[in-house]
């Protein structure tokens, strides 16, 4: 997954909190010990076919032991057998200076010692990875471990280039000194003795696959540009050299590139995913003698608003190619942002993957509980928590790929809708419900699963839900009601099997005449400033050059960038609001992320939105969905004490901050 900026920001802020003690992880892991090996296009474990379903998590290496154990407990409860997680973390100097990205919560594996990259083997270094590997072992879960990152989060490729004083992102693949540093890291990690188990990483069957990196490409996050000379041959030659190096040290584990699986049909191919332009040729990479597993990722709606069917075709093409090459294939990441259709889309993709002979799939992303008991926020919009309906769908697919078809009840997924003030709304809750080798019956929707008979009408706080024989569900709000109303339901399939209980939640928006203006900057900066924990965030000033509500706005001159905001004189209630909006204008030279965070209650709990990129030289209205894009619920939003807006380095003008 490309953008991790929100996760890094959360990690930095999280370092202010105390770490809770670790919870004991369960023993008696469900998956047999032994190395996963390849026999042609098949993977095997202890002489038997090994096909798998699982997930990804990026924060395990820097979060508390309690949080690590929680994620593995959720994964084990969902019967996942493989997890992909990061085995890298680079900073500049030991004091954090000259870093491409900050050390999340003070944890890092490599740093510059004045002459060359050095290794941090201690408690805030590779001992963290020791614990992750041991936690996976205790949970019976195999690991896929990428050894660096194409993107700038957690340092990655760009930190090597910075250490070297290079010019281009792709210097990483060609510069002899950088390649030597990367080989040194491979040597150090593979030969490391786990301080908990006493087993060298290269001898540990908990690890299934070494990946050369996470999503290598010629271009990165923009810290360094791509050179004109980077081609598919550049990355293929590098992958050949480094995969052979891994195998020269470790013959027991699988090796893969970790790329997204782009094709190289030729420079004139109409689709950028097929025209070799990213430096990736999945066929050439899979052919390499030391590569065991074709890797590919899948994000159709992030790669140019492609369809779910395009994703199915992408899966089929890769698995067919891998089988023809005699290699295994792994869908190492996949995601679909639209939660209203995610459940059937994931079911279709996983079914296509299983049918076309792939070895295993790992969805992006499983997150668990934080040390304070709250869920880790869904920063990038792809999180599927477990347990949940979509998690059940993934579990069912994991069982099916591992051991064949089963007779299963339908899976009903949660639904949401938004309606205007005093306005009924109708939706079809069964549209994202799934059945197995049959169909759901929309006419069987039951609005009160706890009672013996099927209920088609139910009155709740805020209004009344009524379901028709077609399966259409109408919510009629009480006069004047503002807020969220919810009703549980189940549905049956044509075989008479009953689904899990899912919830329909309808949000009734406030009277549109009741817009709350939070800032208009007519009297000055109105208390807005850079967040106090940012040493060089930047400055703010009133401006007349950009104003959308009156005659003045606020100019934010972001140096290092970060959070800018205000502490309200009195708490603000956003619990009945559906959106927070602000008008903004970026400079001709720099864009910014549009995102907000609020601090709520007397404890100033942090609650953050998703991030959306706004290009340079753009005037727009940033709209933050308070119903689905925030990491907290409406209860917390009833007591907002501080509002923050995120600004990337550069100059950005804002005005008319309001809640609707």
Write out pLDDT tens, residues 583-633.
999 999 999 999 999 999 999 999 999 999 999 999 999 999 998 889 988
Q: Is the pLDDT of residue 15 over 50?
A: no
Q: Is the pLDDT of residue 19 over 50?
A: no
Write out pLDDT tens, residues 234-279.
999 999 999 999 999 999 999 999 999 999 999 999 999 999 999 9
- Cα 174 from chain centroid (whole Å): 30
Q: Do the bridges between strand 360-363 and strand 328-334 make them parallel or antiparallel, or are there none, so unpaired?
A: parallel
Quickly state the pLDDT bin for 651 (edges 50, 70, 90).
very high
Strand order in the sheet with 415-419: 415-419, 502-508, 483-493, 440-446
| pLDDT averaged over every residue in the chain | 94
Closest C-alpha among 478, 473, 481, 416 to residue 447:
473
- How high is the pLDDT of residue 483? 87
Q: Is the pLDDT of residue 148 over 50?
A: yes
Q: Is the pLDDT of residue 539 over 60?
A: yes
Q: Per the residue annotation, which of 105, 215, 278, 400 is the catalytic one?
A: 215
Mean pLDDT of the region 318-328: 99
Quickly state the pLDDT bin for 33 (edges 50, 70, 90).
confident
Q: Please spell the DSSP secondary structure of 20-75, one letter per residue.
A: PPPPPPPSS-SSPPS-EEEETTEEEETTEE--EEEEE-SSTTTS-HHHHHHHHHHH
Write out pLDDT tens, residues 175-199.
999 999 999 999 999 999 999 999 9
Q: Is the pLDDT of residue 34 over 60?
A: yes
Structure tokens given for 35: 């190395």
- How high is the pLDDT of residue 635? 87
- How high is the pLDDT of residue 30? 52
Closest C-alpha among 499, 343, 367 to residue 73:
367
Those residues whose C-beta lies under 8 Å from the C-beta of residue 513, and which sit 6 or more positions away, are: none
Quickly state the pLDDT bin for 31 (edges 50, 70, 90).
low
Mean pLDDT of the region 99-112: 97
Quickly state the pLDDT bin for 3 (edges 50, 70, 90).
very low
Q: Is the pLDDT of residue 228 over 70?
A: yes
Q: Is the pLDDT of residue 29 over 90?
A: no
- How high is the pLDDT of residue 17? 36
* 333 belongs to the catalytic site: yes
Quickly state the pLDDT bin for 25 (edges 50, 70, 90).
very low
Quickly state the pLDDT bin for 10 (edges 50, 70, 90).
very low
- pTM of structure: 0.86
Percent over 70 (pLDDT), the chain? 95
CA distance 330 to 637: 41
Q: Per the residue annotation, which of 105, 260, 278, 333 is the catalytic one?
A: 333
- How high is the pLDDT of residue 32? 58
Q: Is the pLDDT of residue 496 over 90?
A: yes
Percent over 90 (pLDDT), the chain? 89
Q: Is the pLDDT of residue 26 over 50?
A: no
- How high is the pLDDT of residue 633? 84
- How high is the pLDDT of residue 24? 37
Domains of the chain listed by start with CATH number: 5-18+39-403 (3.20.20.80), 415-508 (2.60.40.10), 516-659 (2.60.120.260)
Lowest-pLDDT range of 28-37, 131-140, 460-469: 28-37
């Amino acid at each position: 997954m490309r953008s991790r900026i929100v996760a890094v920001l959360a990690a930095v802020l999280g370092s202010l909190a105390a770490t809770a003690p670790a919870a004991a992880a369960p023993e008696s892991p469900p998956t047999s010990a032994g190395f996963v090996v390849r026999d042609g296009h098949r993977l095997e474990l202890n002489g038997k076919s090994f096909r798998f379903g699982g997930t990804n998590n990026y924060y395990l290496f820097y979060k508390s032991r309690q949080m690590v154990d929680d994620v593995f407990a959720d994964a084990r409860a969902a019967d996942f057998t493989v997890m992909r997680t990061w085995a890298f973390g680079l900073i500049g100097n030991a004091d954090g200076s000259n870093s491409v990205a900050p050390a999340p919560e003070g944890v890092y594996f490599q740093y510059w010692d004045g002459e060359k990259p050095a290794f941090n083997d201690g408690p805030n270094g590779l001992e963290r990875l020791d614990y992750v590997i041991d936690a996976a072992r205790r949970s019976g879960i195999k690991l896929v471990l990428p050894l660096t990152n194409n993107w700038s989060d957690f340092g990655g490729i760009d930190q090597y280039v910075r250490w070297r004083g290079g010019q281009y992102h792709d210097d990483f693949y060609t510069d002899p000194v950088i390649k030597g540093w990367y080989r040194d890291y491979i040597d150090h990690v593979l030969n490391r003795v786990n301080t908990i188990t006493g087993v060298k990483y290269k001898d540990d069957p908990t690890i299934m696959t070494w990946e050369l990196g996470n999503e290598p490409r010629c271009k990165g996050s923009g810290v360094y540009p791509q050179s004109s000379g980077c081609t598919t041959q550049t990355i293929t030659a590098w992958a050949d050299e480094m995969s052979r190096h891994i195998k020269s040290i470790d013959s027991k584990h699988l090796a893969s590139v970790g790329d997204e699986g782009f094709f190289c049909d030729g420079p004139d191919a109409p689709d950028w995913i097929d025209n070799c332009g990213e430096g990736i040729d999945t066929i050439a990479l899979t052919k390499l003698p030391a590569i065991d597993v074709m890797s590919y990722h899948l994000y159709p709606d992030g790669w140019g608003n492609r369809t779910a069917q395009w994703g199915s075709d992408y899966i089929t093409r890769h698995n067919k190619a891998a089988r023809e090459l005699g290699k295994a294939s792994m869908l190492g990441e996949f995601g679909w942002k639209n939660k209203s259709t995610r459940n059937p889309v994931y079911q279709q993709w996983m079914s296509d993957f299983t049918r076309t002979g792939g070895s295993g799939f790992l969805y992006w992303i499983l997150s668990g509980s934080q040390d304070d008991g709250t869920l880790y926020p869904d920063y990038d919009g792809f999180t599927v928590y477990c347990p949940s309906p979509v998690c059940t769908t993934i579990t069912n697919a994991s069982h099916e790929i591992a051991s064949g078809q089963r007779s299963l009840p339908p899976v009903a997924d949660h639904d949401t809708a938004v309606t205007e003030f005093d306005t009924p709304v109708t939706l079809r809750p069964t549209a994202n419900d799934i059945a197995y080798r049959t169909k759901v019956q929309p006419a069987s929707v039951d609005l009160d699963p706890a009672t013996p008979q099927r209920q088609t009408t139910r009155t709740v706080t805020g209004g009344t839900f009524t379901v028709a024989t077609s399966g259409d569900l109408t919510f009629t709000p009480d006069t004047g009601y503002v807020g969220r109303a919810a009703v549980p339901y189940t549905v049956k399939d044509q075989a008479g099997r009953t689904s899990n209980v899912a919830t329909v939640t309808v949000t009734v928006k406030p009277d549109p005449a009741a817009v709350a203006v939070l800032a208009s900057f007519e009297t000055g900066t109105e208390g807005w400033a850079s967040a106090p924990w940012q040493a060089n965030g930047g400055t703010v000033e009133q401006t007349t050059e950009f104003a959308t509500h009156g005659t003045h706005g606020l100019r934010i001159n972001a140096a290092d960038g970060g959070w800018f905001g205000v502490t309200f004189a009195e708490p603000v209630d956003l619990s009945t609001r559906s959106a927070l909006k602000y008008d903004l204008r970026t400079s001709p030279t720099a864009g910014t992320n549009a995102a907000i965070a609020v601090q709520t209650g007397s404890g100033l709990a942090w609650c953050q939105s998703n991030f959306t990129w706004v290009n340079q030289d753009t005037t727009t209205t940033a709209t933050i969905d308070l119903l689905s894009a925030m990491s907290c619920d409406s209860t917390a939003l009833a007591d907002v004490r501080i509002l923050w807006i995120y600004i990337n380095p550069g100059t950005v003008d804002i005005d008319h901050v309001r809640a609707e």
